[in-house]
A and B are shown apart, each in its own frame.
Chain A
Amino acid sequence: MNIKKLGVVASTGLLVFSLAACGGADSSSDNGKTQIKFINGFTGGDGAYMTKIVKGFNESQDKYEVVQSQEKDHYTKYKSGNYDLVVIHETNLKTYSKDQLIQDAGPFMKKAGLNKEDFSEAGIQSGSVEDQMYGVPLDIHPLTMFYNKELTKEAPKDYAELKKLGETLQAKDSNLYAFGLPSTGLTTFYFTAAAAQNGINLEKDGYLDFTQEAYADALMQYHDMIFKDNASPDKLGLDGEFQAFMKSADEGAKQAAVTMTGPWYYQAVKEKYGDNLGIGAMPTLFKTAATTGNAHTISVAAAVKDDKVKDGISEFLKYLYTPENLANWAESGQAPSHLATIDLISKDAKKYELAAKNQEQLKSYVAAPRVYQFDEQLRYMNEVVFTKLTNEPNLTKEALMSELEKATKAAKQIAGTQ
């Protein structure tokens, strides 16, 4: 009898404990302010600038408080955590809206006094899913060219110039190269560049179709840049394009005069090269000029229902999209999509050097295909195909096509999971 009673007590205790654990988080903080939990992946040099904006908002508020988390793998944290506001890349927006992880940002924009017309065309595209705004456009970050003025006075404009630069540098020192192609890391930008600059549409019925002759030819050009033209070293590994730019040939390492990388490395390259740092536009590596990259947007979690939190989000957007405040983001090197901020940057192009330069090249910006699970559909390409292109001197087009078939098959299966 006692054991039975004890069992009931233990079960009740367990139930109470479980229910307590399942309870939702309170949105109020100890200081009585309504908290907005904001997560982003700004762990690079740009992180401090977003923190500055958040800090500025919190200091200006007596009703709301933005609690920011900056995580390297912020998507995983977002999916498994309890956040109100999240930074989402344009390539993930379709997936997150389909998976009901985010809600329509339109009402929040309206309350913050923002309209579609306040943003650049590329910005509007970056935040839309089937004509509905699921993300408030923050910036577009194209593949950005930095160059070492000690090794090249001008920014190479196309592959012919890069090749010539490579030949000149190789004649001086066998460890000096024109640029570096990474084996993994930012390879998505290189895949989309090969498609955009050759006028190839990778999207087919909701999946990425890589098995196109023209695309295989374009990718083989990357292979030739290393193994035929010697314009880039081979086997540079993860983030090799940036690492090779930061190395010194004098120390026996392979050094690149030019890097095509993410703008978030701006602080690091500026610190290393100072006045010798040059900023250029993405060169035409293939047939036509086209700039590729990705965009950041700010989305509201689907779970946000509390009116106070909703009001707080609108208030934060209002603060963020004030040119003087968003200019902090431009200072980090990112090119904002907000037109009034773009105006401010263009008036002070010296202060916002990188943002202003990147703004110029956005005229030829070609967004990545909008497919469900874009990153996952590209996983095999990023983790296997580009490594083969940069590591295997004897790779043939036939062998590459076979890999592209595997990548397409995986992409098709992933697209089918929606």
Chain B
Amino acid sequence: MHMSNRSKWFGFIFVVPFLISFLVFWLTPLLYGVWISLHDFRLSVGNNGFIGLKNYVDILTPDTLYYNTFVNALKNTLMFIVLSVPPLVLISLALALLIEHLPKKLKTFFRTVFFLSYSISVTAVSAIYLWLFGANGGFINNLLLKAKMIEAPINWTGDQPYAWLVIVIATVWWTIGFNMLLFVNALDEVDGALYEAADLDGASAWHKFRFITLPEIRNISIFVMITTVIASFNLYGQSLLITRGGPAQSTTSLIMGINTTVFGNNQLGVGSAMALLMGIIMMVITGVQYFASYRSEKEEAPRPLEEKKRFKRAINLGPTNVNQQPAATTDKKEREL
């Protein structure tokens, strides 16, 4: 009994650092942020009194200053998510697959090379891309002009859709290493025996990827997808330094909008309300992603035998036939099997 109390005591001590960190760095700021958002709180003079949900109402009332700031920035941020998440996930997966197929000696080298850009600061990355994509005498424009691929210089950072293109390219180059590393680790965990068995069955590279690799790295793929969406929501440095939110505020992100509201307009209360709304939107999107993934996993999980059968059938039919199989026929075949 005495030992049991002691171990409980020790257990609690081990949890205390987490609890303190959780309280100090997460719960307290969150609750403080909620409290500030319910007050007329100015960055300079502090609290001017409780105003209830007025800050939220102001943000959600069309044709007002804060509504325009928030909605425009939200639209831009969602646009960035749509444009950046697919390449950030797919290219990192492609790089991981390439590394996986390299000789062992080269693996570490290229893993480091591709991860290296992740360690560079956003200021340096932005400076590089500003130099590359400068409208007047930039490297890319000079290259394209000399190759006679364009007749006039492209205003990469001052016209759309080029401005988004530059931001997405810079983001992919800068952050791809992190996702790639997660995929490399996930690929390392895939049981080699599965590939050996597939080889014996005469599976093609595509079939091995589709029916072994993808299902085996499914969990990490969902994790990468969710964290990439969250990271893209936090777009700030690239659009601030490369395009300054332009042209015509079309790349002004949510964080930039909140920053302007707090530090430019002096409205800490409104800025906190914006940040909380942003958090809620992020949670909803993450929740939908998680729920969708969990649901499809649930639907697929109890049918390992069917998956096996589909795999065998796919190997026999080839990729074209698999894609052309009408759903009803497939179901029928499955039932027959």
Which of A13, A184, A417 is close to B244, meaning CB atoms less than 8 Å apart? A184
Bound form: Cα–Cα A95–B44 in Å:
10
Stretch at the interface among B16-24, B86-94, B198-206, B320-328: B16-24
Interface residues in B133-173 (C-beta closer than 8 Å to A): 134-137, 142, 145-146, 155, 157-159
Contacts A17-B24, A252-B137; A417 near B266 (Cβ below 8 A):
yes
Closest chain A residue to B16, Cβ basis: A10
CB-CB < 8 A to B20: which residues of A?
10, 13-14
Bound form: Cα–Cα A75–B264 in Å:
9
A388, CB-defined interface residue at 8 Å: yes
Query: Judging by beta carbons under 8 Å apart, are A379 and B5 in contact?
Result: no
Closest chain A residue to B42, Cβ basis: A99
Q: What is the distance, in angstroms, from A302's C-beta to the closest C-beta of chain B?
A: 9
Query: Judging by beta carbons under 8 Å apart, are A183 and B246 in contact?
Result: yes
Query: Judging by beta carbons under 8 Å apart, are B158 and A252 in contact?
Result: no
Q: What is the distance, in angstroms, from B260's C-beta to the closest C-beta of chain A?
A: 7
Interface residues in A243-300 (C-beta closer than 8 Å to B): 243-244, 247-248, 251-254
CB-CB < 8 A to B42: which residues of A?
99
Stretch at the interface among A37-45, A56-64, A193-201, A233-241: A233-241
Q: What is the distance, in angstroms, from B128's C-beta to the closest C-beta of chain A?
A: 16
Which of B136, B142, B155, B264 is close to A379, meaning CB atoms less than 8 Å apart? B264
A79, CB-defined interface residue at 8 Å: yes
Residues 1-29 of chain A, each 1 if its beta carbon lies under 8 Å from chain B, else 0: 01100100010011001100000000000
Interface residues in A98-117 (C-beta closer than 8 Å to B): 99-101
Q: How many residues of A contact B (CB 8 A)?
A: 45
Contacts A183-B247, A373-B265, A375-B264; A2 near B136 (Cβ below 8 A):
no
B12, CB-defined interface residue at 8 Å: yes
Bound form: Cα–Cα A252–B140 in Å:
12
Bound form: Cα–Cα A347–B266 in Å:
45
B222, CB-defined interface residue at 8 Å: no
Closest chain B residue to A18, Cβ basis: B24
Interface residues in A296-342 (C-beta closer than 8 Å to B): none
Query: Judging by beta carbons under 8 Å apart, are A79 and B263 in contact?
Result: yes
Residues 28-48 of chain B, each 1 if its beta carbon lies under 8 Å from chain A, else 0: 000000000000001111000
Query: Judging by beta carbons under 8 Å apart, are A252 and B145 in contact?
Result: yes
Bound form: Cα–Cα A100–B43 in Å:
10
Query: Judging by beta carbons under 8 Å apart, are A253 and B136 in contact?
Result: yes
Contacts A6-B12, A237-B157, A244-B136; A387 near B248 (Cβ below 8 A):
yes
Query: Judging by beta carbons under 8 Å apart, are B68 and A237 in contact?
Result: no
Which of B12, B24, B248 is close to A383, meaning CB atoms less than 8 Å apart? B248
16 A-B residue pairings within 8 Å (CB atoms): A2-B9, A99-B44, A99-B266, A183-B246, A236-B136, A238-B246, A247-B136, A248-B137, A373-B266, A376-B260, A379-B264, A383-B252, A384-B248, A413-B64, A413-B65, A417-B267
